[in-house]
Amino acid sequence: MKEEDDDFPDFRKTERLPIYKKGEEIYELVHQICELIPEDNEHLQFIKGQMLGDAAMLTAKVAGAEAGGLYDLKMENAAIIRKAARDLMVSNHSLEMFGFEEVAYFDMVRDLIEEYRLLFIDWVAGFDRWNYIVDRWGLFNPPGVGPFDKDPDDDIPFNPDDFLE
């Protein structure tokens, strides 16, 4: 019997990752809290959009990182996730500043983000550091690789004409 995940193995595996599931949990809670934001408060509505975007980023960028195998692409997605989580973590201050009365619910989001952070550390530690191209910007190279290092792939003999015949 064929397992249902066989048709889309990469997508199904990603959805089963603990970090992905925690991201979904965070999004759902943020969405529920955002439903309490008054429609007539323009400032809070803007913050609501930012919060929902940041919360959605937690799963979208995990999926993006899992779809791309290269270390630098995974790290780039991880950096975006970190920024979104940190922005979400401090959103309660903006909510409070603009008079959101239910800001106490946001403590639950902060607790979930802390759980997510711990999963994030393990997830990033699992990135394959040998599957990389040199990031010439120098930001997302594996440890020990610099932006001016020779790319190991440059030593692989490749003639495109061998494949075009």
3-state secondary structure the chain: CCCHHHCCHHHHHHHHCHHHHHHHHHHHHHHHHHCCCCCCCHHHHHHHHHHHHHHHHHHHHHHHHHHCCCHHHHHHHHHHHHHHHHHHHCHHHHHHHCCCCCHHHHHHHHHHHHHHHHHHHHHHHCCCCCCCCCCCCCCCCCCCCCCCCCCHHHHCCCCCHHHHC
The pLDDT score that the predictor gives to residue 165 is 61
**Total number of domains constituting the chain:** 1
Say what percent of the chain tops pLDDT 90.
Answer: 72
The CATH number given to whatever domain includes residue 58 is: 1.20.1440.60
- Whether residue 47 is predicted with pLDDT greater than 90 in this model: the reply is yes
- Whether residue 69 is predicted with pLDDT greater than 90 in this model: the reply is no
User: What is the pTM assigned to this prediction?
Assistant: 0.84
Q: Which residue has the higher pLDDT, 81 or 155?
A: 81
Q: pLDDT band for 1, please (50, 70, 90 cuts).
A: very low
Q: Is the dihedral of CA 138, 142, 148, 154 positive or negative?
A: negative
Q: Which residue has the higher pLDDT, 83 or 14?
A: 83
Structural domain range at position 142:
4-164
Q: Mean of the pLDDT values across residues 37-49? A: 94
- Read off the tokens for 152: 């190991």
The pLDDT score that the predictor gives to residue 11 is 61
